[in-house]
Every structure is written in C-alpha cells, then in structure tokens.
Structure 1
Amino acid sequence: MTCRSVPEYRVTLPKELVADLARQAAGLPEWRLGNDGMLSPETAARYHGVLAGLPYLAEFTTTCHQLLGAPDGEGFAVLELAELLDAADSEEAGLRTVTALLSLIATPLRAFDRRPLWEPLSTNLAIAPMHIDVVNSTLPPDYIAQLCVRPDPRGQGHSLISQARRAVDRLGYADAELLTHPRYVDGSSFEFTGVGEEWQPFPILDGLPPSEGFVRFTDKMLADAAPADPYIKAGRALERELIVGQRRFPLGRGDLLIANQHLCCHGREALGNGQEDVPEDERRLVLQIFLRGQVRHTSTPEVVA
C-alpha cells in the first residue's frame, strides 16, 4: 500500500505507517524552540531519529513536497490524520507526532513570541477572507498548517485556498505594476521572531521569484480605504481574481491543511449559525502552526518606491 491522493490534494497515510507512528510516539520528546523561534535542531534530530526507517515514510514526505512545491501546482495538501490521532495515547502524544511529521517537510516555527507553537484559531462567525499570514514582515512563514481537531458542528466553515500566482497572471499590466509599489499597510505590529523585520508599508508583489517571494495579500489592507485610490483598486482586482480561482472544501476531524504561502492565499467561510447554542467543548477547533522551509532566503525584496 502506498500514500495516495484522493482527490489530488488529499493524502492518506497507509495503515501500516499509522500503526508504526503510534508505536513510536512514546519516544518523541516535547518540542523545544531555539532563539530564532524555530524547532531546536536537537529536537528535530530526535524526531528524525525516532521516525527514521519507518516504511512508507519517505514516500509520504516526497508526496507532500511534490504537492506543496511544484511551481505549476496548487501549492497545498490536506493530510488525513484522524486514524493517527485516534491511535495516539493522548492528545499531547498525537500533537507531538503531527509536529514530528511536519518537521520532515519543513521546520516548525513560532512566529509570535507570546503565542503557543500550535495556536487555536478564532471561532468568530464571520468569514476569514483570503490572506497570507504575517504579511507585514520581511520574511513571512513559508507554510501554514491547520489541524482540524473538531469540525464545525453546524457543517460550515469550509476552508478556502487560491493559487495566488495564477491570480496575478490574470491581472492587467497596469494593475500588476501598481501592486509592486510599497503602498499597503496591515494593522499593528506584534513581537515576532524568525520572520525578519516589520515591513510597512509593503508591496503586494515583492519582485522575488515564487520560490522566495510572496504575493502579500490580505483583505485587511483594503478595508476603510478610499475605493477610488488606484492602489486600492488594483488590490481589489487581485482579490476578485483570488476569489474566481479559489477552491473550497471542508476539513474533517484529523485533516491537516498545509499551504505554501509563496504560492497560495488561504481563508475560511463563515461558521454555521447558532454557535452560541453549541457547548464550548464541542465547537470548531482548529490549531495552526507556522513552518519555515529547509532553504533559508538570502535575496532582498526589490520594490518600486
């Protein structure tokens, strides 16, 4: 049995690999972070040592890298990990195992100093529009990963993904050129580590190749702005293309969404009505973690003043 994608972005772990991972979970240490906010090399080495040689693991990581990194691909994957969470001795052991798996793909990163490595996402009823995370830093996380512990009991809150590079390609020249100017601002800064420095105002298109640069989009930078402003109009044009090209799907229990922020923007539809009637411990629970790619960036963004 091999890792398979059904549909193309969904990856199912072979039952043999699930059983092996569950058996090895007890040997995985709690994670420790370095001063750069990333999983410490010592912890990563122990994770890799515990998991080394497990059948199907190399094929699993290859499949993930192909789905996430192909320049002409979608730039995201959904790993089906419900059976792995069920097989773990505890929630903590399950989360450590997921963290260890992710460390084979990229390095777990805590970008915000005062937040946990795995942060519960807001259960705000409203839609979360298309965006990339930590958009106003010089080096946003390469990937975001979202683990669905409990889906919305009202059956809503579908995830949204859009291939941002294709959306840019569909823009007219005039709009695309305006997006290269550093004219966009996203809220207040926070204390962060491992994502460079604060960058405000910033361009949406940073002049770097897709392997290093980002399409720095977030709906928040367009809110409360003059709609006739040509820079805002160009941002709205990109937003329309992101919506046209978006993919929509639910996350079930144990589904782990990984998105390459160099290629994708992500968001969420509104949760179902009546959330106030759902007990807190039954409401939607999604944990998010940031990831840094194995190759660090060395280029400096080139922008038009």
Structure 2
Amino acid sequence: MPKTPLPEYRVPLPQGLVADLTASAAILPDWELEKGLLSTETAAAYRWTLSSLSQVPQFVATCDRFLNSPAGEGFAVLELSELLDTAGSQDDALRTVTALLSLLATPLRAFDRWPLWKALGTNLTKDPMRATGAGYNPLHLDIVNSTWPPDYSALLCLRPDPKGQGHSLVSQIRRAVDRLDYADAELLTHPKYEDGAFYALTGVGEEWKPFPIIDGQAPLTGFVRFTAKMLADADPDDPYTKAARALERELISGQRRFPLGRGDLLIVNQHLCCHGREALGDGQEDVPEDERRLLLQIFLRREEALS
C-alpha cells in the first residue's frame, strides 16, 4: 500500500509579491521596540504599507492555515530567497521580512542582550554564552521555563551547512501527548521539571520553576513545555523522568526532518510544535567562519495574546 503523502509545509512567495515587497522596502521605517515588542507605531506603519499589496491577503491566509489549525502541522517554511536576492542590502531584507511577519503576529525580541534578530552561528568553542554548537540540538520549546513562552519561534537561514547536514526537526507535540498512556500523561501535569537559567528576558512573563510539562490549557492557549535538555542529568529511574522520556520517544517517532536552504524561514507555533536540529556535518573546523551555517532567530507574539 503506498504511503499517504505528508502534508505540505512550504510557502513560496509569488514573483509579483516579491517585486511589490522589494519596491516597498524603501518606505518601510526602521523598527523600534516597546518592552521587547515591535512598537505600535512601527507595526502600524508596516501593516499599512503592505496591506495595499494585492497578494498579501492570500499569503496571510495560507500562513494562518499552516500555523494555527489544531488539526494541522503547526509550522511553515516561507521561501524568501528571491526576496533576499532582490533587496538592496541585508538591512533592507530584514526590515521587509520583519514587516511581512508583523502581518502574522507581533515581532518580539525576548532576550534583552540580543537584537531583534538574534544570530545563531556555529560555535566550535562550546561556549554556552555564544551561539549553538555543531552537535545535535534536541527537540524543544524556546524559553520553556517561562510562564509565557513566545507564541511562535522563527528561524531565517542565511547560510545552510556547507557540509550538507544540520537538517531541521519539527514535531507536533499535541499529537505526541495524545499517544501517551494515561499514567505518563498525568505525571507530566505535575510541576516537577526545571530548565536552565532565567534572566534578562522581556515579554515572556516570569520564571516558572519547577513547571509542569502539560499545563492543562487549551491547545492554542497553553503549552506543552518540553525540552530534552532538561533530562540530560535527570535520574533515569525517577517516574517523572520516565514520563518525559516517553513523551520524547513519541516526539521523535512523529518528527519531520528537512533541510533549510538560503532564504528559508521556518516558523513554528510553539503551542502545537517543538523543534530541533540534527548535527552539522563533520569537519566544521575546516570551514571558514564566514562560510559556516548561519541562522537568524526572531520570536512572535499573537495579537490576541496581547489584549
């Protein structure tokens, strides 16, 4: 019996929309932030400028369907390489992409010490205060230990891994929970889990320590606060660790893997999905630093969550 094809997740930009966005870049203002969020004035200017473009409503509707349907996959990959190529500069490109994202939700910086678009390079020094390393980055939610994680996490690929590896991973976390047995799922509702430090953050609520993995709220309101990193030093015989490992196994069994090419923008709805990355290819130390894999990360906050 032939396999059922997986649902599509890629959203190409029509050439006409690329041309309109490129032409609009000159009148888009530089962004300003208010408490970590794109300012009301900047967001209004972006939305007013782009609302007149004829293909924008269809684009927004497509993204909404991919990202926000509880029955869907909860993620999308926007194909923006042509937009990057036609932009006058990287600043113009990022301003235009930020304006495009503001049609979906409000851009959020979250980390006070980083810019709105945080660079995720290839850190071979293994310094935890710098960018991510070359190894496997297990499935997780971003800012999992907060009372209000970002609604969306987005990653823009400027340079893929020249070694051809580092595939992105995405897994629908609500479906994974539904596949658990009752005993494991019940244990995950207890506030027994912790993850890392919490400081210099804005717009994500307060630190939650310890927190439950399943918070019991509705799928598009609450979160399944999972990160495999919190289990690295956990007691393997502890029933709470076993329950979290059971969830991890379900996430891995249902994960989707795919490469990000230049200009691909992965957007993950954190209410529905977690994400990660396979290890980069061997020999990263032989690749010049300015040729290694480079992503830019931004977070988004839903409008209804701000009201």
The reply to whether residue 283 of structure 1 matches residue 292 of structure 2 is yes
C-alpha contact 1:39 1:107 (8 A) present in aligned 2: yes
Shift in Å at residue 159 of structure 1?
A: 0.2
C-alpha contact 1:183 1:231 (8 A) present in aligned 2: yes
C-alpha contact 2:60 2:104 (8 A) present in aligned 1: yes
Shift in Å at residue 297 of structure 1?
A: 6.9
Q: Distance in 2 between matches of 1:21 and 1:130?
A: 34
Runs of 4+ deviating beyond 6 Å: none
Write the mapping of 1:97-112 to structure 2, written as runs, cut at 5 A: 97-112=96-111
Secondary structure in structure 2 of the residue aligned to 1:295: helix
Q: Distance in 2 between matches of 1:258 and 1:151?
A: 17
The reply to whether residue 180 of structure 1 matches residue 189 of structure 2 is yes
Shift in Å at residue 122 of structure 1?
A: 4.3
Provide, for residues 211-238 of structure 1, a one-character-per-residue CA deviation record: whole Å limited to 9, x for no partner: 1100100012111111000000000000
1:162 to 157, 171, 193: 171
Match of 1:142 in 2: 151
Q: Distance in 2 between matches of 1:152 and 1:64?
A: 26
Write the mapping of 1:191-270 to structure 2, written as runs, cut at 5 A: 191-270=200-279
**TM-score, normalised relative to structure 2:** 0.93
Shift in Å at residue 191 of structure 1?
A: 1.4
Q: Distance in 2 between matches of 1:47 and 1:188?
A: 35
The number of aligned residues is: 292
Match of 1:11 in 2: 11
Measured at CA, do residues 53 and 74 of structure 1 come closer, stay the same or move farther in structure 2, by a change above 3 Å? Answer: same
**TM-score, normalised relative to structure 1:** 0.94
The reply to whether residue 25 of structure 1 matches residue 25 of structure 2 is yes
- Gaps (5+ residues) in structure 1? 1-5, 299-305
Q: Distance in 2 between matches of 1:73 and 1:51?
A: 27
Q: Distance in 2 between matches of 1:297 and 1:193?
A: 14
Q: Distance in 2 between matches of 1:20 and 1:254?
A: 17
Shift in Å at residue 174 of structure 1?
A: 0.3
Q: Distance in 1 between matches of 2:258 and 2:275?
A: 12
Shift in Å at residue 139 of structure 1?
A: 0.3
Secondary structure in structure 1 of the residue aligned to 2:153: strand
Q: Distance in 2 between matches of 1:56 and 1:295?
A: 24
Task: Give me the identity figure in percent.
Answer: 70
Secondary structure in structure 2 of the residue aligned to 1:290: strand
Shift in Å at residue 188 of structure 1?
A: 1.2
C-alpha contact 1:212 1:297 (8 A) present in aligned 2: no
Q: Distance in 2 between matches of 1:265 and 1:169?
A: 15
Q: Distance in 2 between matches of 1:198 and 1:234?
A: 23
- Gaps (5+ residues) in structure 2? 1-5, 123-132
Write the mapping of 1:57-76 to structure 2, written as runs, cut at 5 A: 57-76=56-75
Secondary structure in structure 2 of the residue aligned to 1:296: helix
